[in-house]
Amino acid sequence: MSVGAVDITYRGIFQKNLAGVITKELVKAARHEDKIGGTVQRYGDSPERNGIPAKQFSVIADDADSLRVEMTKYEPSNVVVVAVMDDTLTKGVESWAWYGVRPINLNLAPGGTLLVISRRSAEELLELIPRREYAWNLAILPGEPSFGGLWVYNDDGTDYRTMGAVSRVAGDLVSLDSLLAQAASGQDGELRAEQLREGHDSVRAYPVDAGVGAEDTYEPVEMPGWTQMREGLVIPAVPVGETNPLFKKYTTRTARPLVKFDACVKCQICYTVCPDECFIPTPEGHWDIRYESCCGCGICAQSCPVTGCIEMVDEAVFDSNEPLHGVYENNREEYEELRQDKLAKAGGPIPHYGIF
Contact between 130 and 208 under an 8 Å Cβ cutoff? The reply is: no
Residue 168: how many other CB atoms lie within 10 Å: 21
Nearest one of 86, 83, 1, 73 to 40, comparing CA atoms: 73
Burial class (CB in 10 A: 0-12, 13-18, 19+), 134: middle
**192-200 average pLDDT score:** 97
What Å distances lie between residue 78 and 57, 66, 109, 157, 219, CA to CA? 11, 11, 6, 27, 22
pLDDT higher than 80, residue 205: yes
Of the pLDDT bands very low, low, confident and very high (cuts 50, 70, 90), residue 220 is confident
**Residues 12, 9: Cα–Cα separation, whole Å:** 9
The three-state (H, E, C) secondary structure of 10-52, written as one string: EECCCCHHHHHHHHHHHHHHHHHHCCEEEEEEECCCCCCCCCC
Alpha-carbon dihedral 96, 100, 101, 105, rounded to 10 degrees: -70
**Residues 135, 132: Cα–Cα separation, whole Å:** 7
| Cβ-proximal residues to 123 (8 Å cutoff; 6+ apart), any chain | none
Using a pLDDT cut of 90, give the percent of the chain over it.
Answer: 62
**169-193 average pLDDT score:** 94
Q: Write down the pTM of the prediction.
A: 0.85
Q: Which amino acid is at 138?
A: L
pLDDT at position 152 is 58
Whether a cis peptide bond, with omega within 30° of 0, leads into 47 is yes
pLDDT higher than 50, residue 356: no
**Residues 147, 34: Cα–Cα separation, whole Å:** 33
| Cβ-proximal residues to 78 (8 Å cutoff; 6+ apart), any chain | 3, 4, 5, 70, 109
Please state, rounded to an integer, the average pLDDT across all residues of the chain. 88
pLDDT higher than 50, residue 306: yes
Model confidence pLDDT, tens digit, residues 313-329: 999 899 889 999 999 99
Model confidence pLDDT, tens digit, residues 345-354: 999 998 765 4
Domains of the chain: 3-208 (3.40.920.10), 249-346 (3.30.70.20)
Q: Which residues pair with 281 in a beta bridge?
A: 287
E strand map for the chain: 3-11, 36-42, 53-61, 79-84, 93-94, 101-102, 108-117, 136-141, 204-208, 255-259, 279-281, 287-289, 310-314
Burial class (CB in 10 A: 0-12, 13-18, 19+), 11: buried
Q: Please say whether the dihedral angle defined by the alpha carbons of residues 112, 118, 119 and 122, taken in this order, is positive or negative.
A: negative
> Quick one: how far is CA 319 from the chain centroid?
15
**Higher-pLDDT residue of 45, 59:** 59
pLDDT higher than 80, residue 144: yes
